Amino acid sequence: MAGIPVITLSTDIGTKDYLAGAIKGQLIAVIPQIIIADISHELSGQNYFHAAYICKHAFRHFPQESIHIVIVNLFEKLPHYLLLAKFNDQYIICPDNGMLTMITGKQPEEMVAIEVKPAGNFGLLACTSAIANAIQKLSDGISFEQIGPSIHEIVEKYPLRATYGSDWLDCQVIFIDHFENVVINLTKEEFEEHRKGRKFKIELKNNEVIETISENYASVQPGDSLAWFNSADYLEIAVNKGNVAGLFGLETYLGKGSHSQVKMSYHTIRIFFE
């Protein structure tokens, strides 16, 4: 690529301190005309399903050759390099910790390393400085292959899939939005594949059952629960003008403790077909 790049930032660093602003400063310092878009700085460093859901479905709305910087759980281990991958005519830069395949669903064919040199007071901004330099090279027309050595083996992690039987699906909560609507790990295509035209029941706590797919939140009366396929084509459970996560005790909470000690603790939603 050559020219003024579009950059997105997706991180788990929050916005309460200077770091998000400092990263933007590093990028602007090397390419003053750069276009920077924040996806989110509130990603979970432990819940990769949550982070990947947000990144994947935001990235697809950006133009070709956009560069997506994803900083999630960067210091799980001391990073000596970051991944730069080509995927769907865009670029993704992230640690080699499984986040890349969580977003892409497969290992990209083209990947190189952005090398960093841990030394002294080594932290986030040393890594993002290396990222800024790599982006400057791309903007200057230096080929992708010259940015760093090719990478062929990476840490691979993949999104959690629903489990199923002949007449049921067990789905897990992967995301709870600002309004506490709940997204589960089931796409419209997967739902219809298992449904086979049959009637269905989505079972929630307190004997609550949903038996229809709505077009939007306004399809039901205030206070009523609904299921619909959102703009990412994932099944979403909601209450019109209500809080479905709190009402039915649904959560994607990991618990407290170190990353190596905690385990995913998803609440399951079962769908029956008849």
Per-residue model confidence as pLDDT tens digits over 59-112: 999 999 999 999 999 998 889 999 999 999 999 999 999 999 999 999 999 999
- pLDDT(243) > 60: yes
Residue at 247 is within a domain: yes
Same-domain pairing of 26 and 130? yes
Same-domain pairing of 108 and 175? no
Same-domain pairing of 208 and 113? no
Q: What percentage of residues in the chain have a pLDDT greater than 70?
A: 91
Same-domain pairing of 170 and 90? no
What is the pLDDT at residue 143?
92
- pLDDT(273) > 90: yes
Q: What percentage of residues in the chain have a pLDDT greater than 90?
A: 72
- pLDDT(53) > 90: yes
pTM here is 0.88
Q: What stretch of H or E contains 21?
A: helix 19-30
Residues 6+ apart with CB under 8 A from 80: 115, 116, 117, 118
Query: Taking all residues of the chain, what is their mean pLDDT, rounded to a whole number?
Result: 90
Same-domain pairing of 134 and 187? no
Same-domain pairing of 269 and 194? yes
Write out the residue range of the structural domain in which residue 211 sits: 163-273
Instruction: Please give the residue that has the higher pLDDT: either 69 or 224.
Output: 69
C-alpha triplet 23, 84, 258: angle, nearest 5°: 65
Does residue 67 contact residue 135 with C-beta atoms inside 8 Å? yes
Does residue 67 contact residue 132 with C-beta atoms inside 8 Å? no
Residue at 156 is within a domain: no
The CATH number assigned to the domain holding 213 equals 2.40.30.90
What is the widest separation between alpha-carbon atoms in the chain? 63
Q: For the chain, how many structural domains are there in total?
A: 2
Residue at 153 is within a domain: no
Same-domain pairing of 138 and 10? yes
What is the pLDDT at residue 192?
97
Instruction: Please give the residue that has the higher pLDDT: either 107 or 205.
Output: 107
- Return the DSSP state at 167: S
What is the pLDDT at residue 247?
65
Same-domain pairing of 94 and 34? yes
Mean pLDDT of 136-150: 94
Residue at 78 is within a domain: yes
Same-domain pairing of 86 and 214? no
Same-domain pairing of 56 and 125? yes
Residue at 237 is within a domain: yes
What is the pLDDT at residue 88?
95
What is the pLDDT at residue 261?
36
Same-domain pairing of 182 and 94? no
- Return the DSSP state at 160: P
Same-domain pairing of 169 and 207? yes
- pLDDT(254) > 70: no
